[in-house]
């Protein structure tokens, strides 16, 4: 079904867009923080005061969405009301306050021959972002890319196409108002699926591609892209209650990790419990979860303590529910717990609750995840909580960035080498 669009902008080719992004990135790479911050302030003002343009476009997308059977939850994510615009504008202002990562010296020394070498942070250049119908991401990621000196090419979900076009237009006007190229921020939504595919093939024109959204979106990008990808992934997150786990900590941490915000990637999905502590810990832990409406999918031993539980199947151990469901399994010891984690974890976050120092250190050393915790809620794997000020996403890959990504993770480095005639 063809969606209604606000206007048809004059078509340039997608390659033209990418070439323009490269040219803009060269200007942006040497823009100082003061200029970039003025651009961010202008963007923030434009979003805060742009309701008259943004809300009708968003209304069109919402109408199309309802016509196309978009779920209520997705309609909510798509909605940009005036209060939400104000919040979005404030988030952009927060980025003004962050330290510019560009130019930071990572390490440096003087070589024996007198040459000085310094490794300094530089922008990637052109960053591509492929995401779903959440127009707040459009503003958010444009602001983070701008602050880190990167031109950005956005491919949002088609369900937000009208909203995104208006937002990108406002952002481009704001860029121009401070003398930066409009092409620092571009959308390629009007090129549709073919455009997303072309973006993934544009090695040499695009320096890095960041998919944000569902596991299936991320897997598609990872499989198809010839441009290097930073994978922000799914979380089949585990908590292991060791034999010596404190009861109050166990109850609080499991409840917090599962219930506080079940739809996010750092929420708990599988609880493992030491057999020697099951009788002591499972009743209070599960009672608290039941009070919050959590559906337990338990193995046989768990169901002995909690007969209401759904019988867990192999599929449960592999599932990122993102809902008030929890898989629960009783294990013999820390070895079986870590073996289960090795097999089913997506290497996002795992936490052990224990008072055994040796087990705490083993868990920290041997579990291979982006964040490995002792006696803390898995909900802390978060750029804001880690003090980064803003979060680009949580990387579950091992190359370049792992765990919460802040502004420095949107940069590369180069070596500056200063000599006085040295040769080998």
Phi first, then psi: what are they for 313, rounded to 5°? -115, 175
Residues 74, 91, 117, 178: which binds a copy of itself (CB under 8 A)?
Answer: 117
**Integer CA distances (angstroms), 383 to 44, 179, 419, in order:** 21, 31, 39
Determine if 293 is a binding residue for a copy of itself (CB under 8 A).
Answer: no
Query: Within positions 10 to 49, which residues make up the interface with a copy of itself, using CB under 8 A?
Result: 26, 29-30
Strands 105-110 and 116-123: antiparallel
Please, are residues 147 and 104 in contact by the beta-carbon 8 Å criterion? no
CB 96 within 8 A of CB 41: yes
Instruction: Pick between residue 107 and residue 275 the one whose CB is nearest to a copy of itself.
Output: 107
72-93: burial string, b at 16+ Cβ within 10 Å, e else: eebeebbbbeeebbeebbebbb
Among positions 235-274, residues that touch a copy of itself (CB under 8 A) are 246, 248-249, 252-253, 255-257, 260
User: Is there binding between residue 416 and a copy of itself (CB under 8 A)?
Assistant: yes
| Span near a copy of itself by CB under 8 A; candidates 9-17, 47-55, 121-129, 133-141 | 121-129
Query: How do beta strands 393-395 and 403-405 pair?
Result: antiparallel
Binding string, 202-231, against a copy of itself, x = CB under 8 A? -x---xx-------------xx--x-xxx-
Binding to a copy of itself by residue 414, rule CB under 8 A? yes
Q: Supply the minimum distance, in Å, between the C-beta of residue 398 and a copy of itself.
A: 4
Q: What distances in angstroms separate CA 381 from CA 109, 259, 371, 390, 396, one per listed residue?
A: 34, 15, 7, 13, 12
**Least distance from C-beta 414 to a copy of itself, angstroms?**
6
- Tell me how far, at minimum, the Cβ of 249 lies from a copy of itself, in Å: 4
Q: Which of 75, 79, 119, 318 binds a copy of itself (CB under 8 A)?
A: 119
- Structure tokens belonging to residue 17: 């867009």
Residue 66 or residue 109: which is nearer to a copy of itself going by CB? 109
Least separation in angstroms between residue 424's CB and a copy of itself is 5
Phi-psi region of 88 (alpha: psi -120 to 50; beta: other; left: phi over 0): alpha
For residue 358, state whether it binds a copy of itself (rule: CB under 8 A): no
Instruction: Mark residue 329 as left, alpha or beta (left: phi above 0; alpha: psi -120 to 50; beta: remaining).
Output: beta
User: CA 317, CA 417: separation in Å to the nearest integer?
Assistant: 51
Considering only residues 149 to 188 of the shown chain, the ones binding a copy of itself according to CB under 8 A are: none
Q: Does 365 bind a copy of itself (CB under 8 A)?
A: yes
Instruction: Report in angstroms how near the CB of residue 421 gets to a copy of itself at its nearest.
Output: 4
Residue 257 Cβ vs a copy of itself, minimum distance, rounded to whole Å? 8
Report helix, strand or coil for 268.
strand
Contact, 369 vs 389, CB < 8 A? Answer: no
- Among residue numbers 97 through 116, which ones bind a copy of itself (CB under 8 A)? 109, 111, 115
Query: Which of 15, 105, 263, 422 lies at the binding interface for a copy of itself (CB under 8 A)?
Result: 422
Please list every residue from 124 through 153 that binds a copy of itself, using CB under 8 A: 124-125
368 binds a copy of itself per the rule CB under 8 A: yes
**Residues 314-343 within binding reach of a copy of itself (CB under 8 A):** 342
Q: 3 vs 256, which CB is nearer to a copy of itself? A: 256
Selected from 88, 98, 122, 234, the binder of a copy of itself by CB under 8 A is 122
Q: Does residue 338 come out as left (phi exceeding 0), alpha (psi in the -120 to 50 range) or beta? A: alpha
| 379 to 18, 61, 360: CA distances (angstroms) | 37, 33, 19
Residue 376 in tokens? 């803390």
Q: Considering Cα of 30, then 34, then 35, then 41, what sign does the dihedral take?
A: positive
Please identify, using beta-carbon distances, which residue of 159 and 254 lies nearer to a copy of itself.
254
417 near a copy of itself (CB under 8 A): yes
The 10 Å CB-count burial string (b at 16+, else e) for 10-25 is eeeebeebbebbbebb
Which 371-410 residues touch a copy of itself, going by CB under 8 A?
Answer: 371-377, 379-381, 385-387, 397-400, 402-404
- The least distance separating a copy of itself from the CB of residue 262, rounded to whole angstroms, comes to 13
């Amino acid at each position: 079904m063809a969606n209604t669009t606000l206007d048809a902008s004059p078509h340039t080719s997608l390659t033209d867009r990418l070439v323009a992004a490269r040219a803009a990135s060269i200007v942006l790479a040497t823009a100082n923080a003061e200029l970039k911050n003025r651009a961010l302030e202008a963007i923030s003002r434009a979003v805060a005061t742009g309701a008259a343009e943004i809300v009708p476009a968003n209304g069109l997308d919402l109408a199309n969405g309802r016509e196309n059977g978009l779920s209520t939850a997705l309609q909510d994510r798509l909605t940009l009301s005036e209060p939400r615009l104000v919040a979005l504008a404030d988030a952009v202002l927060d980025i003004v306050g962050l330290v510019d990562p560009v130019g930071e010296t990572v390490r440096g020394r003087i070589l024996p021959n007198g040459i000085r070498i310094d490794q300094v942070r530089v922008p990637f250049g052109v960053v591509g972002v492929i995401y779903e119908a959440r127009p707040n991401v459009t503003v958010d990621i444009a602001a983070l890319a701008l602050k880190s000196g990167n031109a950005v090419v956005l491919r949002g979900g088609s369900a937000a196409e009208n909203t995104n076009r208006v937002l990108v237009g406002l952002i481009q006007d704001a860029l121009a108002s401070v003398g930066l190229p409009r092409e620092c921020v571009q959308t390629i939504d009007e090129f549709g699926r073919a455009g997303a595919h072309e973006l993934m093939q544009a090695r040499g024109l695009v320096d890095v591609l960041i998919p944000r959204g569902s596991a299936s979106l991320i897997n598609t990008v990872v499989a198809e892209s010839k441009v290097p990808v930073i994978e922000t992934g799914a979380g089949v997150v585990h908590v292991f209650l060791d034999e010596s786990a404190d009861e109050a900590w166990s109850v609080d941490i499991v409840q917090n990790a599962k219930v506080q915000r079940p739809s996010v990637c750092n929420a708990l999905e599988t609880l493992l419990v030491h057999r020697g502590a099951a009788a002591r810990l499972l009743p209070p832990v599960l009672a608290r979860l039941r009070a919050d409406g959590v559906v337990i999918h338990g193995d046989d031993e768990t169901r002995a303590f909690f007969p209401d539980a759904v019988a867990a199947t192999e599929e449960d151990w592999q599932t990122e529910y993102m809902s008030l469901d929890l898989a629960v399994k009783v294990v013999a010891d820390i070895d079986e717990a870590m073996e289960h984690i090795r097999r089913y974890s997506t290497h996002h976050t795992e936490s052990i609750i224990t008072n055994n120092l040796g087990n705490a250190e083993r868990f920290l050393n041997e579990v291979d995840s982006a964040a490995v915790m002792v006696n803390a809620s898995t909900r802390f794997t978060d750029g804001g909580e880690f003090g980064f000020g803003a979060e680009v996403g949580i990387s579950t890959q091992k190359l370049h960035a792992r765990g919460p990504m802040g502004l420095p993770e949107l940069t590369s480095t180069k070596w500056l080498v200063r000599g006085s005639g040295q040769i080998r």
